Structure 1
């Protein structure tokens, strides 16, 4: 009975993480009406390539796996001929990862709610353009 209880608690925690969902949002906050090119991928999925217009966004909600090993890698490109780019890990484990592309770099805010909101508090610069 003791082992069953331990298994049930562990399984419940895994399932809670699985059904809570996860997501990535990429927002184009570049100046001068610049467009943003994006492509993201995981072991099982490919998102894009997509062109995000100035002021626009790309949002994808998904379920991460039971073991919390879901990862998404993204590449963003901007500028004349999309000459400035950056590749980075856009999602790991859980939560909502809110990315903002700006002139001086790419900013992140992690959210532990069920949906993205328009709040911009707690953004911090994660990447610089190459």
Structure 2
């Protein structure tokens, strides 16, 4: 009886390890943070939402941030719209969170510290990427006449890709 329980425990532990490697960490808490690092005292207009939750529009001054917390479910997905003040003509929309392992570990910082930090700067939107110890450029601002035409850039999968993109 003792050997069967021990065997079952080892199998369950192995399954959990494989599952956590291949699958997103379902039912765990996660955070998305949007930070305004624009220049010239520009206000950042932020509107984030999912299929089931629509956050109110928020206006961030330089250095301020907007953060929301949620539990990861299989279909959890958040996207955000950002506009540069004062005229709010420069815009970008992007996936702020997707519940897949590649997005969580590759684009964001993984489950430790369980936050995907997006930073708005003059050139565009950056994501903090723990794998490369810094921020990585992801999206450029759309000009006033191109609202909705987004040009996402994939996060690198290796350091050689990072070196070649600079």
TM-score > 0.5 by shorter chain: yes
Greater helix content? 2
Please give the root-mean-square deviation of Cα atoms over the aligned residues, in Å: 2.9
Aligned residue-pair number = 116
More strand as a share of residues: 1
Residue of structure 2 aligned with 1:92, choices 73, 98, 105 = 98
Equivalent residues in 2 for 1:71-110, closer than 5 Å: 71-93=77-99, 94=104, 95-110=114-129
Unaligned runs of 5+ in 1: 112-120
| Unaligned 5+ runs, structure 2 | 1-10, 105-113, 143-166
Q: Which has the higher contact order (CA 8 A, sep 6+)?
A: 1
TM-score, normalised to structure 2, is 0.60
**TM-score, normalization by structure 1:** 0.75
* Runs of 4 or more above 3 Å deviation: none
Distance 2:62 2:80 in 1: 18
Match of 2:135 in 1: 123
Larger radius of gyration: 2
